[in-house]
Structure 1
Amino acid sequence: MSEQATEPRVYVIHENAEWFPPFAAAFADQGVPAQEWLLTDGAIDLSSEPPQGVFWSRLSASAHTRDHAASKEYGRAVLRWLESWGRTVVNGSDVLEFEVSKVAQHATLRAADVDVPRTTAVFGTAALKERAREFSAPFISKHNQGGKGLGVRRWDAHDDFDAWVDGPDFEPSPDGITLIQEYLWTREPFITRAEYVGGELVYAVRVDTSAGSFELCPAEACAVDGEDGTPAPPLFQLRDEITPEHPLVAQHRAFLERAGIRIAGIEFAETFDGRLVTYDVNTNTNYNPDVEAVAPRSGPGEIARFLGSLLRAEQPVPA
């Protein structure tokens, strides 16, 4: 943070400035003072007191794909420093560990009685091919520390997987942990992403997976035009039949409370045999502009309202 403001405000801690404009606009609309804090370099005096305000961490597991791999470690240091001074930190140091570890997500989802895909975490590569054969093809391999669907692959034959592991194209997870996971046969070619703010459902989004891609970033900055330069068909559509009364929403809320996560996007699949399987938690959630245009409530707007309420709660009451 280049300079400290004199008045309390919301500090948004992240490493990708391209994702900030929708949130900056929402804070301005709500009249909530906010300041961006980019963790790409800088320093903190550990003996000094942080500024007054509310701190929202939206650090990303995919930071390494933007040449900001160290931002995760910067985040661990900064969040612990803020918490040691008793500052209000939304999605703090414990939540950062969920963002950068799908193992942590899986374990806590399972403990909250949420249906999760069968998964094996393999440390290093020595046992990778052997453990993959415990899964019937097709199966999925993915990075434990990933983001945007990067590193996720479907394998229809174990021999192809073996050749990839032994070949020059093998890409390890940044933390060296590869996940082998059952392939979820969905009833229809889509998954659902449910957005939560303050532990409450804002809305759910249907995400088209018919093209077979696992890279499903909803942000406008991730949009890719068609080969002829025309806008690609929308992958994201509002799914208004998913309401707070949906049984899986209740399970998600229990998980979020257990994990201390206040803002998140949670992805789940509906399988052909009737399972509702949750497989990913995004604690630095972004919002799709096409969905935002028709949704009854705005994701960034709800975040600005929620964080603004926390900020006002910290203000001294006049005598």
Structure 2
Amino acid sequence: MTAQHAKIHVIHENPAWLPPLAEAFGRAGLPWQELDLSRGTFDLSSPPPEGVFYNRMSASSHTRGHRYAAELTAGVLAWLTRHGRIVVNGPAALDLEISKARQYAALEAGGLVVPRTVMVRDEAEAVLDAARRHFAPGPVILKPNRGGKGLGVRLFPSADALGAYLADAPVEEAPVDGIWLLQDYVRAPRPVITRAEFVGRRFVYAVEVDTTAGFELCPADVCAVGDAFCPAGDAPAVPAAPRFAILPEGIEAPLRQKLEAFLDRAGVDVAGIEFIRDAAGQVLVYDVNTNTNYNAAAEEAAGLAGTERSGPGALAAFLGRQLGEAGRLAA
């Protein structure tokens, strides 16, 4: 493939998440193709095709039957990097995507505050003992180290309630990497979290997310049931108001600058960063999603849909600039 025929290659394992990007690429007239790493064979002795490679591998890939997609992606990214290809959300981003523990270390290194967290091997007895020693009397949040979309995140009022769950938990609910995280429950004045979206390591917009229906906070339309709601087991009824709403005022400049500096330091190009404010107003960051999706209804309501100020629009514009750079390098 010559520089003139270079494309944007979208690395993924879930085609259901691609249509919004395809539409944005089409509006911008950008050549692209998908690179589905739910499976694949690669000749590592040959150079990769020219172009820009945008990594959208998800921590939740194992929940769709693609247990080793992230591991395959790590190998492919190493191959691309060795040959000098432009990779958006490269190896450093993938490393954070598949480990919340490593996310928290990187966030704290960037001067950000994360909720108190204890990491435990997945034996039920060890998890329960850690909950009793570190979080008594409760409440406590249990989450898998490698999750995605808020999958597997559960709130328990006490260690005893956690123990009852662990005693009967199905084998398939065990964390795929064998690591559970126990975490402080942050009492917010309102039942909302904020998800700040970044493209090219720069702020795009912030979304306020209603958490009354549970912790699975995937904003993509394909996650939606009813009003953009990702079901969370025995959750309360879906709130009447939209679950996702773009904040017209964005986020305060010092926080925005600190989050952008974190992305620069961590080597992450595209991300949704989720945080919560406690009763004292302190910001606690608890998730970095490098496989970010966008809520079309929220963008429509905010007047952003179909523009470069939308998530897909900003992403297409950024990748278009990267593609131009790739063509210049390959010429």
TM bracket, shorter-chain basis: over 0.9
Q: Deviations over 1:264-314 (max 9, x none)?
A: 000010111221111001001000011221244111111110011011122
Change (3 A) 1:259 1:316: closer
The separation in 1 between residues aligned to 2:239 and 2:210, in whole angstroms, is 15
Match of 1:135 in 2: 135
Is 1:58 the counterpart of 2:56? The answer is: yes
Secondary structure of the structure 1 residue equivalent to 2:152: coil
Q: How far has the Cα of 1:232 moved from its partner?
A: 6.6
- 2: CA distance, partners of 1:147 / 1:5: 35
Matched residue SS, 2:95? helix
Could you give the per-residue CA deviations for residues 6-42 of structure 1, whole angstroms, max 9, x where no partner exists?
8101100000000001001111111111111111222
Give yes or no for the alignment of 1:82 onto 2:83.
no
Task: Give the aligned partner of residue 241 of structure 1.
Answer: 249
Listed one character per residue, the Cα deviations across residues 200-234 of structure 1 (whole Å, up to 9, x for unaligned) are 110000101123x001110000110279xx99742
Q: Is the 8 A contact 2:3 2:51 kept in 1?
A: no
Contact residue 238 and residue 295 of structure 1 kept, 8 A: no
Deviation at 1:163, TM superposition (A): 2.1
Q: After superposition, where does 1:15-30 map in structure 2 within 5 Å?
A: 15-30=13-28
Q: Map 1:30-109 to 2 at 5 A.
A: 30-109=28-107
Task: Provide the secondary structure at the position in 1 that maps to 2:177.
Answer: coil
Kindly tell me: are residues 231 and 17 of structure 1, through their superposed partners in 2, closer, same or farther at Cα, counting changes over 3 Å? Answer: farther
Q: CA deviation at 1:73?
A: 1.2
Q: 1:209 corresponds to which residue?
A: 211
TM-fit CA distance, 1:5: 10
Q: Distance in 1 between matches of 2:116 and 2:205?
A: 27
Instruction: Identify if the C-alpha distance between structure 1 residues 87 and 209 changes in structure 2 by more than 3 Å, giving closer, same or farther.
Output: same
TM-score, length of structure 1 as denominator length: 0.93
Verify the 8 A CA contact 2:212 2:239 in the aligned structure 1.
Answer: no
Matched, 1:260 2:260: no
C-alpha distance in 1 between matches for 2:218 and 2:321: 28
Paired-residue identity, %: 48
Q: Counterparts of 1:309 and 1:165 in 2: how far apart (Å)? A: 49
**TM-score, L = length of structure 2:** 0.89
Structure 1 residues not aligned, in runs of 5+: none
On the 8 A contact 1:224/1:231 being kept in 2, the answer is no
- 3-state secondary structure, aligned to 1:314: helix
Question: Which residue does 1:223 correspond to in 2?
Answer: 224
Q: Return the match for 1:251 from 258, 271, 287.
A: 258
Q: Is the 8 A contact 1:224 1:232 kept in 2?
A: no
Aligned Cα root-mean-square deviation (Å): 2.3
- Give the deviation of 1:247 after TM superposition: 1.9
Structure 2 residue matching 1:173: 3-state secondary structure: coil
More divergent stretch after superposition (36-45 vs 120-129): 120-129
Match of 1:176 among 178, 182, 200: 178
- What secondary structure does 1:214 align onto? coil
Q: 1:277 is matched with which residue?
A: 284
Instruction: Tell me, in whole angstroms, the C-alpha distance in 1 between the residues paired with 2:265 and 2:328.
Output: 30
Q: 2:5 is paired with a residue of what secondary structure?
A: coil
Count of equivalent residues = 313
Structure 1: which amino acid aligns with 2:175?
A: S
User: For 1:76-118, what per-residue CA distance to the aligned partner results, in whole angstroms no more than 9, with x for missing partners?
Assistant: 1111111111111111112101000000100000010101100
Structure 1 position 165, deviation (Å): 2.0
Give the match's secondary structure for 1:194.
strand
